[in-house]
Amino acid sequence: MRLLIRLLTEEDGPTAVEYAVLLAMITAACLGAVGTMSQATADSFDSSATQISGALGS
């Protein structure tokens, strides 16, 4: 019972949860950005390859 009361009254728990939620949000944003950038990079290389092939007449 004392453990439960101590857990409910301590402020370290909520602070740790807030940091965990913040870290999860930052991670999700980074993963979304990497996904978007990787697709844009692939599209750019595909476009460059098409233009080079057209210029070389292949």
Question: H or E stretch including 6?
Answer: helix 2-9
Give residue 25's pLDDT. Answer: 97
Q: What is the pLDDT along the chain (58 residues), one digit of tens a residue?
A: 787 777 667 777 678 888 899 999 999 999 999 999 999 999 999 999 999 999 998 6
pLDDT of residue 5: 78
User: How many angstroms separate the CA atoms of 9 and 1, rounded?
Assistant: 13
Exposure string over 7-45, b if 16+ CB within 10 A, otherwise e: eeeeeeeeeeeeeeeeeeeeeeeeeeeeeeeeeeeeeee
Domain ranges of the chain: 1-56
pLDDT value for 46: 95
pLDDT at position 7 is 65
Supply the pLDDT for residue 37. Answer: 94
